[in-house]
Structure 1
Amino acid sequence: MLHAPATATLPELLLRPWRDDDADALIAAYRDPVLLRWTRAPVTTTAEARRFLAAARRDWDDGHRFCFAVLEPHPVGENLVAQVVLKNVTEGGEDAEVGYWTAAPARGRGVAPHALSAVTDWAFARFAGLRRLDLLHQIDNPASCRVAEKAGYSFQEVLPARPPFPRDGHRHARWARSDRECPAGAGR
């Protein structure tokens, strides 16, 4: 389990692998039309939630994709506020990709960049050869640009549309802090 420490404006966030008992919270998060707009694989039924959770466990066990449920602790339990995923990890690979979504009630509070930063730091610490993480999003999603920048991911380029993405996209990147070969002008 990872912890994103409390800040002046945010409580502590807990980040952990998905569990079977997260199904109802996952389905509730996907009832949001904004989240549905940006996802390719919505989770709207119990069967879809079971498939999602089983795949998340398999991916974690395989060591190439790590999905974190992001939770905000409360006195009577925890509320699901986001997901952050580290994907395309390969043994000795120098680059991988991150992605995320934020549940509607948590948007605009800094949850996504805070959780994304925690997973980014974990990834660079856990995978010795990892030098760069990319964050990709569609060009018409300015909120994702703001999250990327707040989490230290610098804009790199516009990517042309290609299936399954119907629109051009942005690539943002963040480099391992110890990487002295970080390209000139790239953010850390």
Structure 2
Amino acid sequence: MNVPITLTTAATPTSSALTLRPWCVEDVTALVEAHQDRDFGRWTVSPIDSEDDGLRWVRAQERGWAAGDRFGFAVLEAGFDAVPPRLVGNVVLKEVASGKPSAQVGYWTAARARGRGVASRALETLTAWSFDAFGADGLECLELLHQVDNVASCRVAEKSGYRLDRIMPSAPPVYPLDGHLHMRRG
């Protein structure tokens, strides 16, 4: 499959354009910094507390790209004042396979970028790319799962056209609470 390396979103009146590109080793320091936010402990299953943790995580993203079953994108934003792009989030397409009708998406946003539409714009870009890249291989539906108490993720899902399908029972330790399963068809 010929996968484009970089995806972009347009700027809005209140936010710069976003660039989505595969994760790389140069992102490790910014990744560790983003994970210092206390909310990450509530919503993520892979804590990143050190440069070694960050490097392992980035290497796992690279292996997903090489295997063709997980496509993680660093979400970067260039400031209005032309500062170099900075890491503001992550979006991922996972569990994708030829002939499989569904796959999953996920995302997170760095604390400094929350509340500005970064997650929804990045998710919408990933969604369009996913259906374009994998629709001919049978992808028909994308699934998005978040814990029921993650109200912000629910808003991002709904804003991005992912409709609530059902409530999933908890599955500790990875999912300690019930979850909302949202779906979007291509």
Category of TM-score, reference length = shorter chain: over 0.9
- Does residue 159 of structure 1 match 2:159? no
Q: Which residue of the partner structure matches residue 182 of structure 1?
A: none
- Structure 1: unaligned runs, 5 residues or longer: 177-188
Residue number among 42, 48, 52 corresponding to 1:47 in the alignment:
52
Q: Which runs of 5+ in 2 are unaligned?
A: 1-5
Match of 1:19 among 24, 31, 38: 24
Per the alignment, residue 179 of structure 1 pairs with none
Secondary structure, counterpart of 2:41 in structure 1 = helix
CA distance in structure 1 between the partners assigned to 2:32 and 2:51 by the alignment? 7
Shift of 1:93: 1.2
Contact 1:15 1:69 in 2 (8 A): yes
- Is contact 1:97–1:133 with CA below 8 Å preserved after alignment? yes
> Partners in 2 of 1:16 and 1:92 — Cα distance?
25
Q: Which amino acid aligns with 1:131?
A: E
Give the alignment's TM-score, normalised by structure 1. Answer: 0.91
Tell me by how many angstroms 1:12 deviates. 0.6
* 2:86 alignment partner in structure 1: 79
Return the alpha-carbon distance in structure 2 between the equivalents of residues 92 and 3 of structure 1: 27
Question: Quick one: which of 107, 110, 114 aligns to 1:100?
Answer: 107
SS of residue paired to 2:46: coil
Select 2:133's aligned residue among 105, 126, 142.
126
1:69 maps to 74
The Cα of 1:9 is off from its aligned counterpart by: 2.7
Partner amino acid for 1:165? Y
What letter matches 2:146 in structure 1?
Answer: H
Cα distance in 1, alignment partners of residues 42 and 171 from structure 2: 17
Please state how far the C-alpha of 1:7 moved relative to its aligned partner: 2.2
CA distance in 2, matches of 1:36, 1:24: 18
Number of matched pairs: 176
Q: Deviations over 1:57-91 (max 9, x none)?
A: 01111000010000001323111111001000011
Letter in 2 for 1:59: G
| Letter of the structure 2 residue corresponding to residue 148 of structure 1 | A
Identity %: 50
**Contact (CA 8 Å) 1:35, 1:103: kept in 2 or not?**
no
TM-fit CA distance, 1:56: 0.6
User: Aligned partners of 2:57 and 2:150: how far apart in 1?
Assistant: 24
Output the CA distance in 1 between the equivalents of 2:102 and 2:85.
32
The alignment yields a C-alpha RMSD, in angstroms, of: 0.9
Aligned mates of 2:24, 2:121 — CA distance in 1: 22
